[in-house]
Amino acid sequence: MHPSSRDAASSVSPEEIARFGALADKWWDPSGPMRPLHAMNELRISWACRHFPLRGRTSRRVRVLDIGCGAGLASEALARAGHDVLGLDASPNGIAAARTHLENHLLPDGSGPLTYRVGSAEELVAENARFDAVVALEIIEHVTDPERFMHMLADLAEPGGIVIVSTMNRTLKSLAIGKIGAEYLLRLLPVGTHEWRKFITPAELGRYGRSAGLSIQAIAGMVPSLTGWKESRNLDVNYIAAFRKS
């Protein structure tokens, strides 16, 4: 039996938090070190929102946890889509940058409320917090134990709620493109951003989800094109998956 997430060691890697925290003041620069996230953000947010549960018969506004939110790139987009969002990150620098950006760029009318918090998934689990949707974008490949992390995501979802995970597949193609190409050749990402051996195959992610009591609802590849990132059946590098909690 898998250990309870309440008894699990911290999912937070101090090295990863320090690495991304050091980039906090550059997070919102679309030409800076987070430009790949800026490029794919519209696709991953629109895809996630399509798979959120209905609240009642017609309402699409749901309570969303954006875990590992960094400086809030996805959190703001989710709030602009009309959802009630909590952005959570273990990096004080990241959350400070998220709050500063929100103060300087007011959300338009029709947006949902957005709040930020410094903390970990374990803390929310201990508080018995629950959300209609839990979103973990480009984070699971950076945690200390991805299977335990999936259990925590499941714990944080309401029954019938949705868990959205995006990550990178562990293939030779992702090694060439997502690691060597992006970090060393094209310099799209700072060197050391990713550790290829920690990339997660769709089969592994599905197994972690089943172990946590989640059933997969949809999965899609995310690939760059001349007009921006698009949804694809190709899961070789970047992909996104939606799980439902029983």
Radius of gyration of the chain (CA): 17
Query: Residue 172, annotated ligand binder?
Result: no
Dihedral angle computed from the Cα positions of residues 114, 228, 223 and 39, in that order, rounded to the nearest 10 degrees? -40
Query: What are the φ/ψ torsions at residue 153 (nearest 5 degrees)?
Result: -60, -40
State the distance between the two ends of the chain, measured CA to CA, in whole angstroms. Answer: 18
Was 70 annotated as part of a binding site?
Answer: no
Q: Alpha-carbon dihedral of residues 177, 179, 184, 185, nearest 10 degrees?
A: 0
112 in helix, strand or coil?
A: coil
Query: Token digits for 145?
Result: 């134990």
Output the six-digit token pair for 242.
């939606």
44 carries a ligand binding annotation: yes
Rounded to whole angstroms, the Cα distance separating 197 from 34 reads: 21
Separation between Cα atoms, residue 239 and residue 169, nearest integer Å: 7
Determine if residue 94 is labeled as part of a ligand binding site: no
Question: Cα–Cα distance between 238 and 202 in angstroms, integer?
Answer: 10
Order of strands across the sheet that contains 214-223: 114-118, 84-89, 63-67, 131-137, 157-168, 238-245, 214-223, 230-232
Residue numbers belonging to the annotated binding site for S-adenosyl-L-methionine: 44, 68, 89, 137
Residue numbers belonging to the annotated binding site: 44, 68, 89, 137
